[in-house]
Amino acid sequence: MDFQVSARKWRPQKFSELIGQEHIVRTLSNAIELERVSHAFLFSGTRGVGKTTTARILARVLNCEKGPIVDPCGLCTFCTEITEGNCIDVQEIDGASNNGVQEVRDLIDNVQYATSAARYKVYIIDEVHMLSKSAFNALLKTLEEPPSRVIFIFATTELIKIPETILSRCQCFEFKPLSQSQITQQLELICKQEKIDIEKRGLEDISKIGAGSMRDAQSLLDQVIAYSGRKVDAESVEAVLGIVGGNTLETFIDRLIDRQPAVLVTLIQEIVKQGKDLGLFCRSLMEYLRNLLIVKISNQPETLINTHTCSLEILKKQAEYFHADELQVMFSVLSKAEMEMKRSSLSQMVFEMALLRLIETRPFKKIDELIEKINQAENHNIEPVQHFSRKTDSKESSPVSITVNHNTQVSWDQIKQQVARTKPFFEHYLEKCQIPVLNDKEIQLVFSDNFTFDLVEAPENIQFLKETIKTVCGHDVDIKLVLDTSIQESPVQSSAEEKKKFVTSETGKQKSESEIIQDALDIFGGIVVK
């Protein structure tokens, strides 16, 4: 069997065949034509972007029998031997397994000898950042003043680990990650040459997972072809690579809009059962949120998003339910979760907790509105009023109840418990209300701040509350909302708390610590987490 993987078979052999590194090709080509070739190069960048390939091409360019020439012939003895890795004057060294000072000293000893036949002696050291500190120090003198006709080419994926003393002695080139379109075009060319029939969406999925690495994308392509044969559809690509399709993402966002935590967790469990990669799904979800944000901020979103992988019309409808700042917060939550998932053995739980945080995300308030509320609170004269306490002692936990039948009564606490089972976050808003009326026909909820009142007053929340009460009581009950900003909540205080007093600067009236905290909660719409 003479099969070669795509990454080797389709490795570029000339500068003109390199993809996505035009700035490096131009610089090296001009250096060859002007005969200004440096004695040391450092190639840095992520995996699979062409660092080692460029080093081999440069070795052929310098040693071709027709050269040095930008476009080597590829047929002469030196070009053939370098391509096959048999040239005695061009040595490739793995920095990970030859990282000691003794190996570097052996290399330095060999540098002193002249070439056997080639024009230049070229040393290509891959993963050079793996060399020890002593090995780097041993290399410094030779690297600064090498013998004539000796060229060093270093390649690394972690530039930050290279000592400054090495960097200052090399011409440094940073290889850019390849774009998704560049990878897709190359994969299309490979499939055309190999007579592989594959859907465009499947190629785009492979390119996306390749994450800027041509070698990774080519390896994935080989894997997909091995699974599907010469005819590959998008569904086969998703099955092999563990990709969650666009329909699942759309459904996921719909459930997020409905604020249904239990449904979202169930979806995650189904994705795991199907063998999908949660890390990949998290990144796909981040991309989807990015697309939603683009739809909200751009007049021509189709030019900034990939419409082959998602529906623009669905994105526009879903984007109406989110604020731009809310989407940014969600993206940050998922980004942090993705990093935590890589380090944790409980990646599914980490992701589920992140989803619950997404549900609790709310848009930021404008600073002008907050300042206005603060000013109103400062100018508001606090007077003692009669009101219903939000918190009572254990003896009065349920001061009123709804009579279901002659023998059964339902308390407000029971209703809140049912609310908590379906929408945990909604219970927090019900905690902020007073209940002057509670019977089998009507429930009256009195709120002291506009924010909570507006939120609960939303038609979908009123309907949810009615359905919940009907579930508990067995019959319909009318709900009436009242806004009374003159009411000030007064949580139950211990005797010690009552002694803690603070004086306002303008009115001179004393306010307790708990009252100040409650004022802040009312202004910013927060809750106390115990």
Percent of the chain predicted with pLDDT > 90: 8
Tokens of 12: 């570029």
| Residue 50: CB atoms within 10 Å | 26
Q: Which of 374-378, 405-409, 472-476 has the highest mean pLDDT?
A: 472-476
Per-residue pLDDT, 523: 57
Per-residue pLDDT, 53: 92
Same domain, 414 and 308: no
Per-residue pLDDT, 30: 92
Same domain, 25 and 170: yes
pLDDT, tens digit (0-9, with 9 covering 90-100), for 205-261:
888 888 888 998 999 888 888 888 888 888 888 888 877 777 788 888 888 888 878
Q: Is residue 377 part of a domain?
A: no
Per-residue pLDDT, 516: 59
Q: Is residue 517 part of a domain?
A: no
Per-residue pLDDT, 172: 92
Question: In whole angstroms, what is the distance from residue 402 CA to residue 414 CA?
Answer: 10
Question: In whole angstroms, what is the distance from residue 52 CA to residue 85 CA?
Answer: 12
Per-residue pLDDT, 518: 59
Same domain, 202 and 122: no
Helix (H) / strand (E) element for 172: namely strand 171-174
Lowest model confidence (mean pLDDT) among 77-86, 204-213, 370-379: 370-379
CA–CA distances in Å: residue 24 to residues 16, 51, 216, 365, 436: 11, 10, 21, 48, 76
Q: Is residue 528 part of a domain?
A: no
- Give the pLDDT band of residue 174 (cuts 50, 70, 90): very high
Per-residue pLDDT, 403: 55
Question: In whole angstroms, what is the distance from residue 91 CA to residue 119 CA?
Answer: 14
Same domain, 423 and 467: yes
Percent of the chain predicted with pLDDT > 70: 80
Return the CATH number at 138: 3.40.50.300
Q: How many distinct structural domains can be found in the chain?
A: 4
Per-residue pLDDT, 31: 92
Question: In whole angstroms, what is the distance from residue 149 CA to residue 40 CA?
Answer: 11
More confident residue, 2 or 200: 200
pLDDT, tens digit (0-9, with 9 covering 90-100), for 320-354:
888 888 888 888 888 898 888 888 888 888 888 88
Q: Is residue 384 part of a domain?
A: no
Same domain, 230 and 120: no
Q: Is residue 369 part of a domain?
A: no
**Residue ranges making up the domain that contains 282:** 251-359
Same domain, 264 and 317: yes
Domain final residue pick, 174, 194, 212:
174
Same domain, 293 and 430: no
Is 237:206 a contact under the CB 8 Å cutoff?
A: yes
Q: Is residue 499 part of a domain?
A: no
- Give the pLDDT band of residue 154 (cuts 50, 70, 90): very high
Return the CATH number at 413: 3.30.300.180
Domain final residue pick, 135, 151, 174:
174
- Give the pLDDT band of residue 505 (cuts 50, 70, 90): very low
At residue 511, does pLDDT exceed 60? no
pTM of the model: 0.60
Domain final residue pick, 335, 359, 383:
359
Question: In whole angstroms, what is the distance from residue 109 CA to residue 350 CA?
Answer: 54
Same domain, 153 and 301: no
Q: Is residue 381 part of a domain?
A: no
Return the CATH number at 343: 1.20.272.10
Same domain, 170 and 191: no
Q: Is residue 523 part of a domain?
A: no
Same domain, 143 and 184: no
CA–CA distances in Å: residue 349 to residues 269, 344, 355, 425, 427: 10, 9, 10, 20, 24
Give the phi and the psi of residue 178 in degrees, each rounded to 5: -75, 145
Same domain, 34 and 145: yes
Per-residue pLDDT, 358: 83
pLDDT, tens digit (0-9, with 9 covering 90-100), for 415-465:
888 888 777 777 777 877 887 777 777 888 888 877 778 778 888 888 888
Question: In whole angstroms, what is the distance from residue 220 CA to residue 280 CA?
Answer: 14
- Give the pLDDT band of residue 196 (cuts 50, 70, 90): confident
Same domain, 349 and 441: no
Per-residue pLDDT, 506: 44
